[in-house]
Structure 1
Amino acid sequence: MIKILQFGEGNFLRAFAEHYIQTANENGIYDGKVAICQPRKNTKVINALKEQGCRYNILLKGRLNGEIVNEVKSVNCVEECIDTVGEYEKLKRVFCLDSLEIVISNTTEAGICFIDTDKMSESPNVSFPAKVTALLYERFKQGKKGLVFLPVELIENNGDELKKCIIKYAKFWNLENEYINYINNECSFCNTLVDRIVTGKAEYKDDECAVACEPYSSWIIEADERAQSVIAFCKLNMGAKFAESVLPYRERKVKILNGVHTMSVLAGYNAGFKIVRDMINDKAFKAYIDKGLNEEILKTIDLDENELKAFANSVIERFNNPFIDHKLLDISLNSVAKFKARCLCSLLDYYNKFGKIASVLSFSFAALINFYENFENKDYPVNDVESVLYFFKSKHNDIVFDVLANVGFWGEDLTKIDGLYKKVKAYFDDIKSLGISTAMEKLLDE
């Protein structure tokens, strides 16, 4: 019986959502099948899944709870694969099933948007929210119960944004107020935050749809009572949970998972490392990361201490995945903007909370400047937007001061923060005179 409709046939959802649903079915806490349709016109994966009877395999490779995992999960919870354009009538039929409870989507960050040229009569050749508006209207007209929407697109408040778009289309198309009341009162739109590294298509026997991913998984869901009553997989011990707000968890992910990457990779590359795993297994770099993580970053996040430490430990474990060679240079792309979003927030929060400058985060700031400075004469590529590259091409009497004072980079003049320039300049001078590794050892001895 189809209880879930999924807009998104790509590797991520098939390695993420179906893993939860399949496991819930196998453990007897759920009894539901999935119908998958593609949000765009490309039917390559849909057709491949159909050829295989909608069955495929997930290859789980990595570390979890201190153990190396190398397992295969066979997926048979998908009952139908639908070509959104070529089989639109079938899609409408599934969308209006009495048994349908949940709609999952992953249409990329650009997928949840309002386009004022979309017409209801042109569905399905419209945006994803427009398609859903038209399909949900058909369900409303048939007097069927409302649905729970679980978007996993990586935008803030993804559920709220999807709901806003649907209501905007309903008004734009002059649909009746009763339909808008149905959207508001009988449907649930959950804000979610997801986390799993999916490495992509995998080679496994004759399975053309096999997908590989790490074993770690997290799905944080803001859900009302209606949504909680039908989302069964949060009962599993697989990292899915209900929360009053996803915002602290978003902060946790950005500051810890993404922040530690950005805090370490530029220094790591200049110290001679090429991939994350080798860097994390170096004694000095592991100590550097532990110090920055436990003594600085974690102290700026308002979540349960044990929960934060468990997540931090899982991040270090994920960095040490023996099956993924994650290149430091790949992570270094657009590092200035990444530092602002991922590390500067922790540095400023630490200063505001404790009235002093965080040492490791300041060292990572100095390492960023060292990585970019005079980049045209270095033996590695620096990939960033043109405005950033132009700045570092220009001559500077004091590169550290000029970087910190660049309001265009940081949204404010960071030289105004008492002690920050002095600290970053000292670390920058140490890196220049001692080399990155010795400068780091000096930091660790402070």
Structure 2
Amino acid sequence: MKLTDILKKDFNRAEWETKGYELPKFDIAAVRQKTHDNPTWVHFGGGNIFRAFPAAILQDVLNTGKYDRGVIVAETFDYEVIDKAYRPYDNLSLLVSLQSAGTVEKKVIASVTESLKADMQSDDWSRLVEIFRNPSLEMISFTITEKGYSYNDADLARGMEPVFAMGKVCALLYERFKAGQLPLTVQSMDNCSHNGDKVKAGVMAYAGRWANDGLVPAAFLDYLKDESKITFPWSMIDKITPRPHEKVKELLAADGFDDNNYIETARHTFTAPFVNSEETQYLVVEDHYTNGRPPLNLGGVIYTTRDTVDKVETMKVTTCLNPLHTAMAIFGCLLGYDLISAEIRDEDIRALVQKIGYIEAMPVVTDPGILNPYEFIGAFINKRLPNPFMPDTPQRIASDTSQKLSIRFGETIKKYITRHLDMSNLVLIPLVLAAYSRYLKGIDDEGNAFAPSPDPMLEELQTIVAPLKVGSSDNDFSCLRNLYSRKDIFGVDLYEAGLGGRIEEMVRELFAGKGAVRATLHKYALAR
């Protein structure tokens, strides 16, 4: 069984379906031809998240019979992905959806009609120019990670031959400008706040420099700023697509599916002809398009206002997901867990995250109206975290914790203050912040040293807690004021917020000795 088998005239459809493979329900050749002639959507970034989410959504749309155009993918960073993960399989891939119950769903994705290298030195560049000059093009989108929107003086100085992704996109937008100032929507689908602004900032940096250098006319800047022509909507995306999993490879091999090899490029991109992902997914998009858009709402995308997208992001980041992840990361490292899916089965940990989400943060949750915060937390705790196929670790999530605490917990504390809510209701959030000092110490609950995850402020913050010793009766906890008064870390001075003393007392308990982390967590998590 090979992916390209489905394109053959003598394809044995029944064999695949008997083994549980969902196959495309549309005419693949017809969709490819229509997309080639009059493309509507180009996506930059050919990684796993694209194939598992945007491309899979479009597959569902095509299966309805209500749309007839695919998506063209363009890779901006690692061109080996095109050579090794797309073209050998005629742009087909297999999506393996990993269910929390331990079962899997297998779907052949055929919505990607072309794969191109966004490389000005390759033959593919002329095809991209042709596409951008076509009036039919409605949207370009991105999953290139937040770093992909960066630029620097050296690349800006390269003029019309940039290396960075935003420079290449700007050059293609200039082609669309020259073709008649044709409208287009530039849509980020990356997991970063206010992502549309990041794309816009990158594009405008190149356009502004080129205009100043006399490489493009001032009218090009006007075109990019004209929201009747070009828009940069915000979106919120949430779906986990880890690198190809060994269990999935074995499962596919047992089916007789031959395209199950791992691919690692020279740039250390990990991919495969198949993509494994979790079942839960969210994509909420600001509906601000200038030339129409593919009807991705037929595949589950929620189109709404910019304000609502912002509220969904705030709900996720400050209440219903990210704070719970960080709580698990800190305690998971202290309790010796190396898998999130195993940690959530811990009764104390489960009570911790449930009560942070449902009891302490919920009174100040930002309710976007289109997603229910209670249901969002429920799906996270009951489906996403326990998923045995999701090999996420507390150690990965604990990276850069100093950069996350002010948003994930500080925003909730600020709202308690401004709304004059009873601060005594905050118990488990202070416990997590107290556990952060024990985490910085790098001593787990068994008394063994561990290496805290990479963090730009790790060394500085470890110096503050350095005088504290686990199990010592001579600790002077006054040093903690130098940590918990830091507004740059926690978003507020926790002493001014009335929480400093409570946190100090919890730190005393957490440093009492071997087993103190478990005992303290159990005491507070199950006491309410």
TM-score under structure 2 normalisation? 0.76
Q: Which residue of 1 aligns with 2:366?
A: 302
Residues 181-230 of structure 1: CA distance to partner in whole angstroms, max 9, x if unpaired? Answer: 33213122111121110112353533342111111111121122537x41
- In the TM superposition, what is the alpha-carbon distance from 1:334 to its structure 2 partner? 3.2
Q: 2:304 aligns with which of 224, 242, 254?
A: 242
Q: 1:36 aligns with which of 73, 92, 95?
A: 73
SS across alignment from 2:148: coil
Q: Which residue of 2 aligns with 1:380?
A: 450
Q: 2:490 aligns with which of 394, 410, 415?
A: 410
Q: 1:318 aligns with which of 364, 371, 384?
A: 384
What does 1:17-416 correspond to in 2, within 5 Å? 17-40=54-77, 42-48=78-84, 49-63=86-100, 69-85=103-119, 86=122, 87-118=124-155, 123-143=160-180, 145-174=182-211, 175-183=216-224, 184=226, 185-201=228-244, 203=249, 204=252, 205-207=257-259, 208-224=272-288, 226=290, 229-236=292-299, 238=300, 240-245=302-307, 246-255=309-318, 256-303=320-367, 307-316=372-381, 317-353=383-419, 354-357=421-424, 358-373=426-441, 375=443, 378-383=448-453, 384=455, 385-394=458-467, 397-398=476-477, 399-407=479-487, 409-410=489-490, 412-416=492-496
SS across alignment from 1:290: helix
Give the CA RMSD over aligned residues: 2.7
Give the stretch that moved more between structures: 390-399 or 339-348.
Answer: 390-399
Distance between the aligned counterparts of 1:11 and 1:250, measured in 2?
Answer: 22
Matched-pair contact (CA < 8 Å) for 1:69–1:215? no
Indicate how the Cα distance of structure 1 residues 94 and 365 shifts in structure 2: closer, same or farther if over 3 A, else same: same
Amino acid at match of 1:243: T
- In the TM superposition, what is the alpha-carbon distance from 1:437 to its structure 2 partner? 3.2
Distance between the aligned counterparts of 2:500 and 2:281, measured in 1?
Answer: 39
Indicate how the Cα distance of structure 1 residues 106 and 439 shifts in structure 2: closer, same or farther if over 3 A, else same: same
Distance between the aligned counterparts of 1:271 and 1:441, measured in 2?
Answer: 12
Counting matched residue pairs gives 439
- In the TM superposition, what is the alpha-carbon distance from 1:272 to its structure 2 partner? 4.9
Indicate how the Cα distance of structure 1 residues 30 and 390 shifts in structure 2: closer, same or farther if over 3 A, else same: farther
Q: Which runs of 5+ in 2 are unaligned?
A: 1-34, 260-271, 469-474
SS across alignment from 1:82: strand
Amino acid at match of 1:176: P
Distance between the aligned counterparts of 2:158 and 2:489, measured in 1?
Answer: 45
Amino acid at match of 1:57: L
Indicate how the Cα distance of structure 1 residues 188 and 415 shifts in structure 2: closer, same or farther if over 3 A, else same: same
Distance between the aligned counterparts of 1:265 and 1:115, measured in 2?
Answer: 34
Indicate how the Cα distance of structure 1 residues 371 and 302 shifts in structure 2: closer, same or farther if over 3 A, else same: same
- In the TM superposition, what is the alpha-carbon distance from 1:349 to its structure 2 partner? 2.4
- In the TM superposition, what is the alpha-carbon distance from 1:369 to its structure 2 partner? 1.7
Give the stretch that moved more between structures: 337-346 or 13-22.
Answer: 337-346
Q: Which residue of 2 aligns with 1:445?
A: 527
- In the TM superposition, what is the alpha-carbon distance from 1:18 to its structure 2 partner? 0.5
SS across alignment from 1:226: coil
Matched-pair identity in %: 21
SS across alignment from 1:28: coil
- In the TM superposition, what is the alpha-carbon distance from 1:308 to its structure 2 partner? 0.6
Amino acid at match of 1:311: F
Q: Which residue of 1 aligns with 2:13?
A: none
SS across alignment from 1:379: coil
- In the TM superposition, what is the alpha-carbon distance from 1:307 to its structure 2 partner? 0.7
Distance between the aligned counterparts of 1:116 and 1:406, measured in 2?
Answer: 34
Distance between the aligned counterparts of 2:508 and 2:385, measured in 1?
Answer: 29
Distance between the aligned counterparts of 1:406 and 1:187, measured in 2?
Answer: 42
SS across alignment from 2:98: strand
TM-score under structure 1 normalisation? 0.89
Matched-pair contact (CA < 8 Å) for 1:374–1:393? no
Indicate how the Cα distance of structure 1 residues 169 and 403 shifts in structure 2: closer, same or farther if over 3 A, else same: closer
- In the TM superposition, what is the alpha-carbon distance from 1:171 to its structure 2 partner? 3.4
Indicate how the Cα distance of structure 1 residues 293 and 121 shifts in structure 2: closer, same or farther if over 3 A, else same: closer
Distance between the aligned counterparts of 2:197 and 2:494, measured in 1?
Answer: 34
Amino acid at match of 2:305: A
Matched-pair contact (CA < 8 Å) for 1:234–1:240? yes
Q: Which runs of 5+ in 1 are unaligned?
A: none
